[in-house]
Structure 1
Amino acid sequence: MSMITVLDKGYVRLVNHMGSDLTVVNAARVSYAKESKELNERDMKLITFLAREGHTSPFRHVILQFEVYAPLMVARQWWKYVVGSAHQEGTGDTLEAWNESSRRYITEDPAFYIPSAQEWRGKPENSKQGSGDVVAWALGDKYTQELMEYVEEGVRKYEAALQDGVCAEQARLFLPAYGMYVRWYWTASLQAVCHFLNQRLEHDAQKEIQEYAKAILQLSQPLFPNAVGELLK
């Protein structure tokens, strides 16, 4: 399995990867001019030690590349990890790259995340951010319908502007932004991927990005079972 669907129209696709648990081990053992040919129990203990003690550079020799299709509100949360990867205390650059499709150049039919009636959440009781319990179905249905109408109106104005000869990079101003799906490639070291997972799998992370983090975990863990398991402890 290389692709997992997320939300109503989104997905995560594993495009490519480099390395294995053995790559992590040998990146660490090169300090002593040693190399393991096959992963053994001693190697697995070394992975545990490296993760526990914060010796993260060996995990940066393993690379994963994903294609992600997600609402803009998810993409912009995710993007912060790329911006901050060079500034994480004690780690240095965790090796990340991001290339995103642009509506300056493409005019494919826009797609939008529309929560169903049972997916709208109320504000939390004891926090200024995040969300609480699911709201009543009638209220959720009301806002599902209103969001659909709002999106449809924006798309009509966007298409009318294109028909009138307005450039794509300005016509896109009519598209409702935060729910619009965008597509990007995310290439990152295993350390960077697990840093993302450690934060976005938490119960207090935004639910929508939690769903994408679960997909990333499901695609990554079979490739590097020992390293992922230790970095997520």
Structure 2
Amino acid sequence: MKVYIMGSDQRIVRCARVSFAKDEEVDKERDTRLIRYLFQHKHASPFEHVIIAFEADKGLWLEILKNLPSPAVQVYYSKGYIWLNLRNYINAMELFPSEVKKALEEKLPATTAIIFGQEPQAYSTDHAYVKDKIETSSGWLGLVDSLELGTDMDYYTFVVECPLFVARQWHRHRFGSYNEVSRRYVSYEPDFYTPGYLRKQAKSNKQASIEEPVEEPWNSLFLKKINWYVQDLQDLYKAMTEKEVAKELARGILPQFMKTRFYWTVPRVALDNFITLRTHEGAQKEIREFAEAIKDLVGYRETDKKLRL
């Protein structure tokens, strides 16, 4: 039986530490302690960014589904492979072949040791923070990893830095796993996106813009005011946190132009749906640029053009 794993011990740590905007740091001893803390305290979302696929027939998949301890445990089948993430494996590990455990022990030695109550003797890291990176007008996107076996459930992990309003549009695509910077935990001065010019509202589409700037002097005047307000709110945020106002409250005054960063692990079926919807001419320019960047990095499969809702 062939077993494929996307991820590493460090991947789990990166997806947890992004909450503190410290996902680029590497400290094997601290990282191992963090994995143990996440597992013991059931902070499970970082484990969702490790993906498992193994060869099996549909009969085994149906048998596993019949015996799942909870409908919340998700296990998928596509073209001869059973797919799941590490969180789901942990919640139903007794149902899976021993070869899966062995593959996990080789690929994630620290994490599996902790899961099975042992002392970690090794720690696996990612080869790089990102494999490929593309800049857009409002941020950047990096491909972290992929597991491609030619199925609808092939998986990809991206790290994205973008304005809040782009992230909130992105998170409407629910078939995937997200971990994001939290300003409850960080108080460093945030970065902001300011467009090069202010686009006009489209008359034929209530939610879209057109590639035409607002007339002068209004375009320049509004951009100046945006920069003033952003700076004022940034100064107010800094003053509030310096006077010990809780960060979870102080963050409320920061505008939607503030940038955030998040990890996104997503199956191919959902990724192609994202590309279809967000490269459409009616999509907002900023998120459309990210969708085009994803298309450049991993391509776009058009084998199934049926609308997926």
Gaps of 5+ in 1: 25-57, 86-95, 222-226
Q: What code does the residue aligned with 2:301 have?
A: V
Query: Which of 215, 228, 244 is the equivalent residue of 1:165?
Result: 244
**Is the contact between residue 189 and residue 234 of structure 2 (CA under 8 Å) also seen in structure 1?**
no
User: In the TM superposition, what whole-angstrom CA distance separates every residue of 1:165-193 from its partner, at most 9, and x where no partner exists?
Assistant: 112111112212x1110100000011111
1:15 paired with 2:139, answer no
1:206 paired with 2:284, answer yes
The residue aligned with 2:191 is 111
**Is the contact between residue 233 and residue 254 of structure 2 (CA under 8 Å) also seen in structure 1?**
yes
CA-CA distance at 1:231 after TM superposition: 5.2
* Structure 1 residues 121 and 100: CA distance shift in structure 2, 3 A: same
The residue aligned with 2:179 is 99
SS at 1:122's partner residue? strand
**How far apart, CA to CA, are the structure 1 residues paired with 2:216 and 2:137?**
19
Q: Which runs of 4+ in 1 moved over 4 A?
A: none
The residue aligned with 1:59 is 152
CA-CA distance at 1:137 after TM superposition: 4.5
The residue aligned with 1:128 is 206
**How far apart, CA to CA, are the structure 1 residues paired with 2:265 and 2:304?**
18
SS at 1:194's partner residue? helix
**How far apart, CA to CA, are the structure 1 residues paired with 2:164 and 2:304?**
28
SS at 2:290's partner residue? helix
* Structure 1 residues 161 and 201: CA distance shift in structure 2, 3 A: same
**Is the contact between residue 161 and residue 260 of structure 2 (CA under 8 Å) also seen in structure 1?**
yes
1:69 paired with 2:161, answer yes
1:197 paired with 2:275, answer yes
Greater helix proportion: 1
* Structure 1 residues 148 and 191: CA distance shift in structure 2, 3 A: same
TM-score by length of 2: 0.54
**How far apart, CA to CA, are the structure 2 residues paired with 1:13 and 1:162?**
31
Aligned-residue CA RMSD in angstroms? Answer: 1.7
Q: What code does the residue aligned with 2:135 have?
A: T
The residue aligned with 2:62 is none
TM-score by length of 1: 0.71
**Is the contact between residue 163 and residue 258 of structure 2 (CA under 8 Å) also seen in structure 1?**
yes
Query: Which of 227, 230, 233 is the equivalent residue of 2:303?
Result: 230
Tell me: higher relative CO, structure 1 or 2? Use CA pairs within 8 A at least 6 residues apart: 1
The residue aligned with 2:76 is none
**How far apart, CA to CA, are the structure 2 residues paired with 1:172 and 1:191?**
35
**How far apart, CA to CA, are the structure 2 residues paired with 1:194 and 1:172?**
34
* Structure 1 residues 124 and 70: CA distance shift in structure 2, 3 A: same
Percent identity over paired residues: 33
Q: What code does the residue aligned with 2:192 have?
A: F
Gaps of 5+ in 2: 1-130
Aligned length: 175
**Is the contact between residue 66 and residue 185 of structure 1 (CA under 8 Å) also seen in structure 2?**
yes
Q: What code does the residue aligned with 2:172 have?
A: K
